Structures are given as structure tokens and as C-alpha cells.
Structure 1
Amino acid sequence: MVKDLVVIALGGNAILGKNDKGYVEKMWRNIYRAAEPIVDLYIRGNKIIVTHGNGPQVGNILEWFECAKDRIPPLTMDIACAMTQGWIGYMLQQAIGNELVRRGYHRKVVAVVNQVLVSVDDNAFRNLEKFVGPYYSYEDAESLAKKHGWIFRQDPRGGWRRVVPSPEPLENLEVEAIKTLVDRGYIVIASGGGGVPVASNSGGIVRGVEAVIDKDLASSLLAISIGASRFVILTDIDCVYIDYGKPGMRPIRRIKASEALRMVEEGIFPPGSMGPKVKASAIFALRTGRASYIGHLDRMIDVFNGNSGTIVEP
């Protein structure tokens, strides 16, 4: 086991805030804000892997192509995910590299376009639940469904949206390359947006699939596979809450992984936001016997040290 290897998962909403409206300058601001504590942890002797969400960004890409639908064919989901890995990975790589140089260190940071294996037999391919892309009227959704064979459902937040599978991640295909880079002293950015979803045939040949992998579960898988000593999920909320956003909401500062999984299964945490984070943290804790940490991006060092956020114990 690598004793000082940390996997830091940056939430998509932490990179692009709810009120940031997709502006790239806002992303730069948030990413530079994250780069400073990441470098703080690195120069203290920790080996660092950074993963990131891509929900707002992949939605933007799908909407851009929809606006040009009369001139440009639509993208498949695997390519859209790879595009966001390059986009956000480049921004993180530049910001972290500049912070290293500013402090007198070599620019040892690299982003990896990363494939993650899923099974085509996963029930998720028969039960489409993950909303992606822009909102449509019923008439437009019906037209697109006929044209492309897409599936649409009504989003409770308004309008009709495309739904795609969100299968369980099984294997990170570039894990050995990531491990090699980390062992050579690089900060590695990987598994962005959950990784590019691919499926394999009996001969080991892979191809992209129309799906979105949950980035927290994929980050947990990477942390387990690579032998991380600590798994930290950073978001735009200071800790895990029961009844978040309601009167009388209660913070959870420390919880056992088994109890956390029970609460996830009972639907206590929102399935589209905190639920996957709690589940991913609990899986890491149970599989490795080491704690996971969930907290706010702006309190990264405090979350890392267990002085802020929620600790999920084995």
C-alpha cells in the first residue's frame, strides 16, 4: 500500500457553481481556487490523484451540438465525456502546474483521458435514469426520439430531457499508467466525469457505449484499485446533511460506512447529488479499512485533516 497516496474528487458543481452560468472565466476562478490546496498537500509529501465531475460541462456540449443539429451530427456520450476530460483536465493541469511553478517546483502534473469498463449486461441499460443534456418541450423530445432513437423522460425540475444508462464502474483501464505517473512524482488528473464508458468483448476489445458513469463511484474504484490511503470528495456543501435544504436539517460529522450505506438504500440522501458521494465513500471505507472524507472545496485542507466535513469510517 502506498501510505501517502490521496485521491481527491472534485464535484462538477464545485468546479462550476450553480450561479456561474457556464462561463469559462468562472471555471478558471474555481479551478485556480482548488489548485492552491492541492499543491499544499503535494509539497507536504503526499502523492495526489485528482478526479473531477463533468455534469454541467457535458450538458453544455450536448446543448451546443443540439443548437447546430441542422449542420453537425450529434455526438455519442462516450465522445462527449472524452471531450470534457480534455477540457477540464487541461484547465486543472494548467492551474496546478502554474501553482507549482509559482512556488518554485517543477511542473509535474498531467491529465489522462481515461476509459472505465462497464458491463452491457448491467441493469442500468434496461432502466435509464440519468438525465443529460438540455431541456426540451414534449414535441421536440418526441421528434428527437424518432430521429435518433433516444429515450426521454420528464424531469421533475421542468421539461423533457434525454435519459441514458448509468452503469456500475468495473475496472479503470489505465490504472497501471496512472500508478506509474504517480510513482514518478506527477500529480495525475484522471477518471474525469467517471471515465469514458467502454464495454469489452470476449477477446478484450473495447468500444465506447452510450452511458454516463457516476464520477464518485468511479473515483472510489480508482482509489481502491491504486491503493490510496485517503479518499476525499469535495463539493459545494460543507458536509453531509439529513434533510438538506429543509427546516431542521442536521449535519453528519462522523458516520460508520455500514450505516451510511443503509441510509443510501433507504433514500435518505438525494440520489442525484449527495447519495452517490456517501455510497462511494462508504464503499472505499469498507473495502480498504480506511476512512473517507466529504466536505467543501474551499475547506480542502481542513476536510483532509478531518477538521471539517463528514468522516465516513470503516
Structure 2
Amino acid sequence: DKNPAFPLDSLVAMTEGSIGYWLQNALQNALAERNIDKEVATIVTQVIVDAKDPAFENPTKPIGPFYSEEEAKVEIEKGKGTFKEDSNRGWRKVVPSPKPVAIKEIKTISNLVETGHIVIAGGGGGIPVIEREGKLEGVEAVIDKDFASQQLATQLNADLFVVLTGVDYVFVNYNKPDQMKLEQVTVSDLHTYIEEKQFAPGSMLPKVEAAIDFVESGEANTAIITSLENIGSLIHSNAGTIITK
């Protein structure tokens, strides 16, 4: 007999906790090796979304296993949600991807940051919750991790927001003979490139949009998009795509 499926908000919480632990443990060991006396804490983070977000009417984010068309139709008939074909690989459940409105644990995270602790938060975009009559309720949705991170950075009044991805730079004309890496770029340049459809939806586009939102939210804010491998060069020589007003 199959175990009953956990609701999605609980699955996000479980994943946040386990990956948070792995990161926390690795960071604590790395700090100890270098004799750095710093505490690391993981906060299981609830992210508030708007119940009236239009995303709830149009679920787009594929989750979970692949089904055959027949299996998917059985799940739909059982009232198990919306299923769509995913790039000829089979049918998958799709859930809404609403925009984050606020980070519920922001005061806790802020207190820890201000007292010098390293905080791991907002894993996987955070646990999506809506406010109903003063109470928080988990909902079946997946929040875009780039927008959730941007919301966290903005609410912490950070002045630098670094988005890590698979490439050292954001490119225009990506993978074409005339591809060009963006090094120093302004928000208005990026708006132009977005209009030209330079960034792939679901991969680079949300990262660029989150970076723009962050830079626009404060007077001297800077956002950087680069890879984890390039982070050393970023610290020493500002390598990566640097976005300013």
C-alpha cells in the first residue's frame, strides 16, 4: 500500500529542513577548519503569498513524477489537481507559482543577521502560506526561489544581492556566434534585453527580474548574477554580471 501523499507545503518544509541542515553542517565544518567563531542557523521560512494572485488560476510549475496520459487522467478524475504534458516526456502535476509578498520570519532572521550569525533561510522559495482571517494557511504552490530571495534581501535592507546560477555571466544572444557576456549593466539595459526576449523564461529571466526588483528597491543597491565557481573571482575582482541603477 502506498503511503498517503504529504501536502506540498509540508514537503517544502521537510526539504528546507534537510537541505538547511546539510548547508549548516558544511558551513560549520568549514568555519571550524579556519578557526572562525561564527554561529550558523537554519530558519524554516514561511513566505506569504496573495490568495488573489492570478497564478492560482493558471498553475504552471511542474512537480513530482511523470505519468502516462491515462494515469494523469485517473489522477485528474480523483480530484488530485491539474496535470499537463511536460516537453514530450510525459504528464506531470502542475501547481501555481505566486509572487512572494512578505517573509513571515523576517524579524527573527534580521535579529540573527544583526548579531553576526550566518542565516540559511527561504529554501526552495519558502513555504507558501496565505493569510486568512489573521491565520496563516499552507497552500499547494511553489514560489520562485529568485523572487523569494529578492524579497528577503529587500526586507533585510541589504545593499548587495548575489544570485548564483550555472554560468559566470548573463549573456545576450546566448549560444549564438555573436553571444556577448554582460559585465557592468544598468536596469534600463536589462529592460531592453527583456523586451528583445533575450532571457529564457523559467531559467535566466526570473533571475534577471529579481535582480532588477532588488536594485530598484534601494538607492545604492547592487545585484550580481554569477556562478558558485566564480564567487572567488567576484570577491577579488568584481567578476560576474553586475547590475546597478
TM-score of the aligned structures, taking structure 2 as reference length = 0.94
Counterparts of 1:285 and 1:81 in 2: how far apart (Å)?
28
CA contact (8 A) 2:9 2:141 kept: yes
Aligned equivalent of 2:208: 278
What one-letter code is carried by the residue in structure 2 that aligns with 1:200? Answer: E
Displacement of 1:140 in angstroms is 1.5
Structure 1 residue ranges without an equivalent (≥5): 1-69
Contact 1:293 1:304 in 2 (8 A): no
CA distance in structure 1 between the partners assigned to 2:94 and 2:196 by the alignment: 23
Cα separation, 2, equivalents of 1:205 and 1:101: 41
Give 3-state SS (helix, strand or coil) of 1:288's partner. Answer: coil
Inter-CA distance 99–169: structure 2 relative to 1 (3 Å threshold): same
- Equivalent-residue separation in structure 1 for 2:193 and 2:7 (angstroms): 35
| Aligned residue type for 2:65 | P
One-letter amino acid matched to 2:66: Y
Alignment of 1:132-171 (within 5 A): 132-156=63-87, 158-171=89-102
User: Displacement, 1:254?
Assistant: 2.2
* Higher relative contact order, chain-length normalized (CA < 8 Å, sep 6+): 1
Shift of 1:227: 0.7
Q: Which is further off, 163-172 or 101-110?
A: 101-110
More helix by share: 1
Which shows bigger deviation, 148-157 or 172-181?
A: 148-157
Change (3 A) 1:152 1:94: same
Match of residue 258, structure 1, among 171, 181, 188: 188
- What is the aligned partner in structure 2 of residue 220 from structure 1? 150
Helix, strand or coil at the partner of 2:74: helix
User: What corresponds to 1:312 in structure 2?
Assistant: 243
Q: Give the Å deviation of 1:182.
A: 1.0
SS at match of 2:217: helix
SS at match of 2:78: helix
Contact conserved, 2:172 with 2:193, CA < 8 A, in 1?
no
Over the matched positions of the two proteins, sequence identity in percent amounts to 42
Which residue does the alignment assign to 2:199? 269
Distance change in 2, residues 1:189/1:240 (3 Å): same
C-alpha change, 1:155 and 1:84, in structure 2 (3 Å) is same
Matches for 1:1-314 after TM superposition, within 5 Å: 70-156=1-87, 158-202=89-133, 204-264=134-194, 267-289=197-219, 290-304=221-235, 307-314=238-245
Q: How many residues align?
A: 244
Change (3 A) 1:265 1:85: farther
Cα 1:245/1:155, change in 2 over 3 Å: farther
Q: How far did residue 216 of structure 1 move?
A: 0.5
1:91-130 CA-to-partner distances (Å, cap 9, x unmatched) read 1000000111111123510100000000110000001111
**Which one has the bigger strand percentage?**
2
Gaps of 5+ in 2: none
CA distance in 2: counterparts of 1:79 and 1:177, whole angstroms: 21
SS of residue in 1 equivalent to 2:119? strand
- List structure 1 runs of 4+ shifted beyond 3 angstroms: 245-248, 261-267
AA of the residue aligned to 2:202: G
